[in-house]
Structure 1
Amino acid sequence: MPPPHRGCESVLQTKSLSALTSRRDPGRAVRHSEPSKLPVQEAGAERKRRSKRKASRKCSQEEEGAKKKRSGEAQHNQRCIGTHLTRDLENLLQTKTSKTCSKAEFKAKYEELGHLGEGGFGAVYHGYRKEDFLPVAIKHIALDQVICTPVCLNGQIVQFPLEVLLLYKVGGEPGSHGQNAAVTLLDHYELDQELILVMERPAPCMDLFDYVKESGGSLQEHEAKILLRQLVEAMLEIHGKGVSHGDIKFENLLVETGSRAPRLRLIDFGCGSFLEEGLCTRFFGTADYTPPEWYARGCHSAATTTVWQLGVLLYGALTGYFPFSSTMGTLFKRPVIKGELSQYCQNFLRSCLAKNPKSRPTLASLLLHPWLR
C-alpha cells in the first residue's frame, strides 16, 4: 500500500497552524494496516508523486485502508474481546444492544440541527435532546464503514459496533455525561443504511484546532501546560480502562470554554481499539502523527505511540507548525525547538519525540515531569 498522503515539505515549513485552515480535515485519518516502505534514495521522487495525487485517488486509498482495517480489527478483537468486558459493561450492553429502528424513533427523541464537521467515515451534526434540551453531537456512519466486533451477551455471540463499545467503556453510562475525560455516548441507532451515535456536546466549546487558531496560531507555554497535563491525565484514564484512542490530534480534542480554566474532552474513537500487550502490527491514525517506528519496522505499541502523538500535538500548539513534514523527517530529522521555551518544556518535547520508542517516557512518568508539576 502506498505511504500515507502528506503535503510537500515546503508547505508545512511555510504555513503556520493558523494558516492551515484549508488543510484541516476533522476526524479524517489515514487508515493503513501495512507499513510504508520508502527507500531513502526514492524519497524525493516519492514526495513529488504524492503531492500530485488527485482527490479521487486519496478517497480510493482511504476506502482500501478501511477494508483492511475492518478485516484486521475484527479478527484481533475476536481474540481479545472476552478479556475486556467487565460485569458493569456487559449489563450496560444488554440494555443498549443495537437494533434496527425507524428514523422516526430517532427524530422523536432528538432534534438534529446544523452540520459540525465531516470525518473520514461519517458526518457530525449538532442538536439537542427534546425532553431536556441537552446539547448533543450526532454522528452518522454508513453501515458498510462500521467496524463490528463479536461480544458474548446472554450466552450468545452478537456483532457489536466497536466504536460504540469503546465509547461506552470510556465515557461511562449515559447518565454520567460531563464526568469523564471522554464524551459520553447517550444513544446509538442502527438504521437500514447507517449507524447513528448520539453523544454529549459540551457547551460552550470548540475543538483544539479552533482554540489555538483564536489564540493567534499558537499558545503561550503556561496555557499549553494546563492543557497537556489534562491530556496526559485523560490518556491515563482511558488506558486504565483498557482502551487506546489511537488518533490524538487537534481536531479530536474539545476545549470547554464556559469556566475560568479550559477543560479538555476526548472525542472520536473511530480509530480506537482495545489495548494490546506487546507490539501492534496495525496503525489507523493520522499521517502527521505517525510514529517513526511504524515507518521503520511496521509495528508500534499503543503506549509509546500515544506519547509520540502528545509530543506532536504539544509542538504544534506551541509553535504553530508540525515538527515533521515528511516520512523522512519523521524518521531522521530532529525537531527544531524554540530557544525561548523553558528548559523543562524543551526536555519534555524532546523526550516525547524521541525516535527510539524505548527512550520515550511512560504516561505516568510524564505526569511527574518537572514541566507539568
Structure 2
Amino acid sequence: MLDNRSVDLQLDLDVKGKCGKESFKKHYLFGELLGSGGFGSVFAGQRISDGLQVAIKQISSDRVQQWVRLPGEPNLVPMEIALLLKLGTGAGAGKCQHGVIRMLDWFKVPGQGFIIVFERPLPCQDLFDFITERGAVEESLAQRFMRQIVGALQFCEAQGIVHRDVKDENILVDIRTGDIKIIDFGSGALLKDNTYTEFEGTRVYSPPEWILHQYYHAQSLTVWSLGVLLFDMVCGDIPFERDSEIVQATPIFTKRISKECQSLVRWCLAYRPEDRPSLEDILLHPWMESSDDNGDILGEDTSLTSL
C-alpha cells in the first residue's frame, strides 16, 4: 500500500533529476539483472559517455514508503533519493564518501517510478555472498570491516540520517582492497531523537523492543543490527532466526571466538536499549583496538566473481 507521508527537505544546493526513460537511455545502457526484491530491481549498467560500470536501481512508485519535497523539484521524490543526495553533498562527504555508496544520477519515469544510478566498484561482492563463499570471517578481517562500517554509519548520523537496514546484504566489499561501502538506503530515514514506530528493515536484524512493542530509537537499533552483523561475520550465520530468539537476546556462539569479540557482540545485543554501546563505544572496545591489521587481509585468491 502506498504511504503518502511526505516531508520537506532542505539541501545546500539546487539538485534536479532528469525526467523520462528516453533521457536515461541517452546516458546509460542496461546490463544483466543483479538482484531484486521488495526494494525494486538492480541491474548492471554502463555510462555511455566514458564506459563507466554502474549499478542501476529501478523503483516502482507504489513501493515507495515515504516521499520528500526537494528544493527546485516540482514533484515529490522517494526518501531514498533525498538521503543519498544529503550524504553526497553534506559537510565531510568528500572525506568519508568511501564508506557510503555514491549516487551518480537519478531519473523520474512518469507513470512507472524512478531510476537511480550508483557507482559500482569492481571487483566487488556483498558481504552475504562473501561469507557464503568463504565461511566465517577471521577476527582480524571482521575488525577491519567493523571499523569501516561503524565509521560510515557515524558519517550518516552526522548528516542526520539513519540507515535502518544494516545487514550483510547491504555491505559491499571491494575484493581487491577490503574496503566497504554501505548500500541500499531504501529503508532509511531522517534522524530524530524520539522513537520510531515504523520499520521497513529486515526483521531478523531488528531488536527486541521492536518485536515486542513496535518502537525503537535510531542508534540502539543500529547498534543491535551491528551486533547481529558481527556475529554473522565471525560465526558464518546470524544468531537469531525467530522472534522468540530475538527477545531472549542470548546469542549462542557456534565457532571458537575470542572472549573480547564475544564481549562486544553481547554488549551490542543487550536486551535493554540503554545498555547497548554507542557507535563511539564500539570503536573504543578492547577487541576493536586489538587488531593485527597488516598483510593481505583477503588472502591470495582475489578472483571471486564480481557483482
**Category of TM-score, reference length = shorter chain:** 0.7 to 0.9
Uncovered stretches (5+) of structure 1, i.e. residues with no partner: 1-63
Using a 3 Å threshold, how does the CA distance of structure 1 residues 179 and 153 change in structure 2: closer, same or farther? closer
1:353 equivalent to 2:269? Answer yes
| Correspondence list, 1:241-252, <5 A | 241-252=159-170
- Counterparts of 1:315 and 1:372 in 2: how far apart (Å)? 14
The 3 A distance-change label for structure 1 pair 330 and 148 is closer
Q: Say which of 167, 175, 188 aligns to 2:84.
A: 167
Structure 2 residue aligned with 1:209: 128
Larger radius of gyration: 1
Name the structure 1 match of 2:47: 129
Q: Cα–Cα, structure 1 residues 152 and 253, in superposed 2: closer, same or farther, change >3 Å?
A: closer
Query: Which of 135, 138, 141 is the matching residue for 1:220?
Result: 138
TM-align CA RMSD: 2.2
1:313 aligns with 2:229: yes
Which 4+ residue blocks in structure 1 deviate beyond 6 angstroms? 175-178
The 1:148–1:323 alpha-carbon spacing in structure 2 relative to 1, beyond 3 Å, is: closer
Which of 36, 42, 48 does residue 118 from structure 1 map onto? 36
Contact 2:234 2:255 in 1 (8 A): no
User: What TM-score do the two structures reach when normalised by structure 1?
Assistant: 0.72
Distance 1:227 1:152, change over 3 A: closer
Structure ranking higher in helix proportion: 1
TM-score (norm 2): 0.87
Q: What's 2:15 paired with?
A: 95
1:125-163 deviation digits (Å, cap 9, x = unpaired): 011111111111000111222345343625x87522211
How do residues 1-373 of structure 1 correspond to structure 2 at under 5 angstroms? 64=1, 67=2, 70-71=3-4, 74=5, 78=7, 81-82=8-9, 85-86=10-11, 88=12, 91=13, 94-96=14-16, 98=17, 100-101=19-20, 103-151=21-69, 153=71, 158-172=75-89, 179-192=97-110, 193-215=112-134, 217-259=135-177, 262-337=178-253, 340-373=256-289
Percent sequence identity over aligned pairs: 37
Q: In structure 1, how many angstroms separate the alpha carbons of the residues matched to 2:175 and 2:26?
A: 30
The equivalent of 1:52 in structure 2 is none
- Code of the residue aligned with 1:205 in structure 2: it is C
- Contact 1:212-1:219 within 8 A present in 2 as well: yes
Task: Report the count of equivalent residues.
Answer: 286
Cα distance 1:100–1:339, how it changes in 2: closer, same or farther (>3 A)? closer
- For residues 213 and 62 of structure 2, what CA distance do their matches in structure 1 show? 31
Q: 1:178 to 1:197 in 2, by over 3 A?
A: farther
Deviation string, structure 1 residues 91-134 (Cα, Å, up to 9, x no partner): 1xx232x4532x22211211111110012131000111111111
Higher relative contact order (CA 8 A, sep 6+): 1
Q: Deviations over 1:58-89 (max 9, x none)?
A: xxxxxx5xx4xx24xx25xx3xx45xx34x2x
Say whether the 8 Å CA contact 1:171–1:183 is kept in structure 2: no
Change (3 A) 1:191 1:177: farther
Letter in 2 for 1:306: T
